[in-house]
Structure formats: C-alpha cells, structure tokens
Amino acid sequence: MSSTVPNNSDAQKQRVLQLNQAMAGLDLFAGPQRPLHPEQNSTFRLAPEPLFVDQEIVDLLSELAEVFHAFYVAANRLYNRSVRGSVPGFYHEYLDQGKPETVLEYARLNRFRTHVPVVIRPDVLITEQGLAVTELDSVPGGMGLLAFLMQQYSAMGFELVGGADGIIRCFAAALRELSPQIADPFVVVTVSDESNDYRGEMEWLAQELTKAGLRTQVCHPRDLVFCQDRLMLGGLKIDILYRFFELFDLKNIPQIDLILYAIRKEMVAVTPPLKHHLEEKLLFALLHHPVLFEVWREALGKSAMSRLQEVFPQTWIMDPRPLPPHAVIPDLKLDGLPVTDFRQLAQASQRERQLVIKPSGFSPTAWGSRGVTIGHDVSSQDWESTINEALAAFEQTPHILQEFHKGRKVSVSYYDFETGAIRRMHGRARLCPYYYVIGDSPVLAGILATVVPLNKKMIHGMSEAVMVPVAVK
C-alpha cells in the first residue's frame, strides 16, 4: 500500500535522482528482476532518506554483537566436543547429516579448531514484542550494496549507524587480523558461479578496500594458480582468501582440490572457515533443545544464553523418525495438545500455521528466500506437501520448523519513476546488521534495511522493496 506524499520537495527528488545516477553502470544488487523504468538504475525502490529507528533498537543490536559472536564460538566448541564424545552425539550427528567426507574432514582439522567467521549478519525483525532474529549468515551478500548506500546517504548529510565508511573500515580491519604478521597483505575474494549474483557488489567493495589501503581483488576460482608453496592470482601471492562460495557447491568449483590443499597446509588464511556446522539454521533448534540446556549455558554463560533464547524464535529439526509412545516434540503443540509427529501439523488450521519451514543449510535452496514456506500463506494442501517433502529430504537436507514472527508496521518514502513523485509506503522491515570480528571483538559496522509492502509475508530484496541504510531517529 502506497500513497503520494503531499508537497513533494524538490530536495527529496534531487537526492534520489543523484543516488540513481551514482548507481549507473554498477551491478550492486542482482535481485529478482522486473521490467524497470528506462531511467531507473536499481532493481529495488530508491528512497530519499534512510530508515530511521529508535536509539534503543540500535543499542540492542550493538549489544547483541558480543552475544552472536559468543554463539558461534560456543557452537564451534560444542561441535568439537560432541565429535569427541563429551557432548550428546546427536549434536554433531544432526549438523553432519548429508555432508560429504571432504567437508567433514576440513571442519574437524585441529589447526583450524578455534576458527569462526569474521563476518556475522543476522536477519532481524522488529516486532511488537521486541526483536526476532530469524537466522544468522556468515557468508552474507549485501556488504557491497550497503557500503555504497552508506557512502551516498552520508554525502546527503544523514548520520548513519556506522557512518560513511563503517563496512569498508571494519571489514578491512577484520581481514588484516587474519595475517597480522604481514604488513601489506594481498586479499582475494573468490566468487563462484553459484554466488555470481554478488560478484558486482564484491568487485565494487574490493576497489574501495584497495583505496583504503588493503590490496583486494575479486576473481573466479578458475583464475587461482597453485605454484610450489603458494596460492597465486596474477603472479601475486595471496595472503588472505575470502571464500564467497557455499560448501554444498565444492564439487562444482574449479581448482577446489588445489584451494583445499593450500588451506590445509596453511599457505593462505581463509575466511569464513570451512565449517558446515556454523552455517546450519538448525543450530537455533539445538540451542532450544532441553537436553542441551546445561551444555549451552556452560558454554555461553547465563546472560548470553538468556539473550539468545529471547531473540531466536522457537525452532525444531524436522526429523521423520518415530518417537516412543511416551515422548513428545518439546514445546510444539497443536490445538493445545503436544505433537508427537510433524505430519500432524498437516491438520493445522490457517491460524495455527503461523510457522515457517526452510532447509537448514548445505543446499542451493538454503540461501536467499529460496525453499522457504510460510504456513499461513499457502493452502492446506501445499502446507501438507511441504511437510512431507521436508521430512523426505531429512537424510540429505534436514529442514527446520520455526515460529513465524510478524514485523511491526513501518513507513518509508520512495521515488516513483513512472510519475516523478515521492510516494509513501506502509510495510514491514527486515534489518541486517553487519558485524565484523576484529581480533576477538565484534563491531557493528552498519545496518541494511529492507522494507516490503504489507501484503508480502516474506521480506527480501525485490522490485517492490525499499532498501536503505539505517539511521537513528
């Protein structure tokens, strides 16, 4: 739902047109395409101002930086311990489900045992009850787009969370920490065909990192060369490799055997680490698992444990195996009665289907908005089919069931290229804060907001979405 803003200011229009002109020739967001106005250079709606949120929300997101980092560290530690038998075996069994031996081998190498991602990006909804973090991503897109938008809106005079250069400055610092002994490291971002939608924004970001003093280049994996004791690009030794490819896609990546060999022999520092267990959404379900409560609390501490349970929606692993007669699926109820089999949810009414089903990870359908089904947004027949398909896929691609959280209503302005007017849209927002781990300290570097119309249940980049950086109200 949108309406024309009365007394459209020339200044607002001018800001959008300048932003649009700055985007000409840049491939910063290759989201879902639609026929665009000939003069529009983006595949989403452009706004004359950032999204303004309360200081309290920004403070909460800043505080959560340490909590999310602690979660990754704890999840990694528990995985190592469960492999060795001091944590219930089902912890790593669920995380290892459907993974090839190569992936498991690299995840368990002792030399990388403590490594965790240096980039953390949650998907956060602002609800009437508070914040809901629907997932965490350690190989996120959007960094280049947000960095560009932060530059542009700062130049317009807005004071943004992270300032004008938060992404570039913090990303560079986090990367340098991977090879602190090298004064002038060479960073290569290798982008696979599967992740090609993000190549343009990463190329722009690499140019900005280079301007900031960190030599950075983007390449396709096929361009990498292994020579004697080093991994090289264009005749230069690579010191740091930023992995912009998914682990499920290893078999399709040229030179992967040489890349893995260089990583194993520590000829190059790599991030995110090759750890499938830190890229699975079912970690949320394991955090909520009652049998693991004390294990998590010991690993996280009481405060972080409590915060995570508050912001992570209740989540279940859709395991099709039968339960004994006296057992139930913890905290999952239908019509007030405990559920003993996920198939029972096929009988749920639309009101009771305030639930989401999505693949946990290690699948081409597990990133972006692919593979996500919102229960009350589909017919009962489609809901039943989704349940059955998710359970059938368990051996190769475990799925999760998660409580649906409805974002509270916000308003944003955008420029309508068809009419030349500033319009106002009521919608719901997803916030994506980008945290960079510098040493052992995660820092909030900027926040990307995606606002979609109220009639959209799923919030992601689309032609009807407004995408802007966040500023404090």
Task: Give the pairing type, strands 186-191 and 240-244.
Answer: parallel
The tally of CA atoms less than 13 A away on the side-chain side of residue 283 is: 25
- Give the percent of the chain with pLDDT over 70: 96
Residue 387: CB atoms within 10 Å = 24
**How far is 296 from 81, CA to CA, in rounded Å?**
12
336: phi > 0 → left, psi -120 to 50 → alpha, else beta; which?
A: left
Kindly indicate the confidence band of residue 149, based on its pLDDT and cuts at 50, 70 and 90.
Answer: very high
Which SS3 state, helix, strand or coil, does residue 212 take?
A: coil
Kindly indicate the confidence band of residue 362, based on its pLDDT and cuts at 50, 70 and 90.
Answer: confident
DSSP, residue by residue, 215-279: EEEEE-GGG-EEETTEEEETTEE-SEEEEES-GGGGGGSTTHHHHHHHHHTTSSEEES-S-GGGS
Cβ burial, residue 385 (10 Å; 0-12/13-18/19+):
middle
Model confidence at 378: pLDDT above 70: yes
Model confidence at 469: pLDDT above 90: yes
Model confidence at 4: pLDDT above 80: no
Fill in the amino acid letter for 349. Answer: S
Q: Is the peptide bond before 313 cis (omega within 30 degrees of 0)?
A: no
Kindly indicate the confidence band of residue 364, based on its pLDDT and cuts at 50, 70 and 90.
Answer: confident
Kindly indicate the confidence band of residue 466, based on its pLDDT and cuts at 50, 70 and 90.
Answer: very high
Task: Check: CB of residue 415 under 8 Å from CB of residue 23.
Answer: no
**How far is 335 from 165, CA to CA, in rounded Å?**
51
Which SS3 state, helix, strand or coil, does residue 213 take?
A: coil
Task: Give the pairing type, strands 215-219 and 186-191.
Answer: parallel
Q: What is the pLDDT of residue 82?
A: 85
**How far is 455 from 247, CA to CA, in rounded Å?**
34
Model confidence at 339: pLDDT above 70: yes
CA angle 86, 88, 93 (to 5 degrees): 115
**How far is 120 from 450, CA to CA, in rounded Å?**
18
**How far is 345 from 387, CA to CA, in rounded Å?**
8
Model confidence at 3: pLDDT above 90: no
Fill in the amino acid letter for 105. Answer: E
Higher pLDDT, 395 or 457: 395
**How far is 47 from 415, CA to CA, in rounded Å?**
6
Which SS3 state, helix, strand or coil, does residue 230 take?
A: strand
Report, in angstroms and rounded to the nearest whole number, the Rg of the chain calculated over CA atoms. 23
What is the torsion angle, in degrees rounded to the nearest 10, for the CA atoms of residue 392, residue 396, residue 397 and residue 399? 40
Tell which residue, 315, 340, 319, 313, has the closest CA to residue 329.
Answer: 340
Q: Look over the chain and give the mean of its residue pLDDT values, rounded to a whole number.
A: 94
The whole-model pTM stands at 0.95
CA angle 462, 60, 463 (to 5 degrees): 5
Mean pLDDT of 344-369: 89
148: phi > 0 → left, psi -120 to 50 → alpha, else beta; which?
A: alpha
Cβ burial, residue 432 (10 Å; 0-12/13-18/19+):
buried
**How far is 302 from 299, CA to CA, in rounded Å?**
9
**How far is 460 from 457, CA to CA, in rounded Å?**
10
Mean pLDDT of 278-293: 97
The answer to whether the Cα torsion of 361, 367, 373, 376 is positive or negative is positive
Q: What is the pLDDT of residue 233?
A: 96
CA angle 390, 393, 397 (to 5 degrees): 100
Query: Could you read off the pLDDT of 14-60 as tens digits, one per residue?
Result: 999 999 999 998 888 875 556 578 899 999 999 999 999 999 999 99
Query: Could you read off the pLDDT of 190-232 as tens digits, one per residue?
Result: 999 999 999 999 999 999 999 999 999 999 999 999 988 899 9
Task: Give the pairing type, strands 51-53 and 2-4.
Answer: unpaired
Q: What is the pLDDT of residue 342?
A: 98
Higher pLDDT, 165 or 9: 165
Q: What is the pLDDT of residue 228?
A: 83
Fill in the amino acid letter for 118. Answer: V
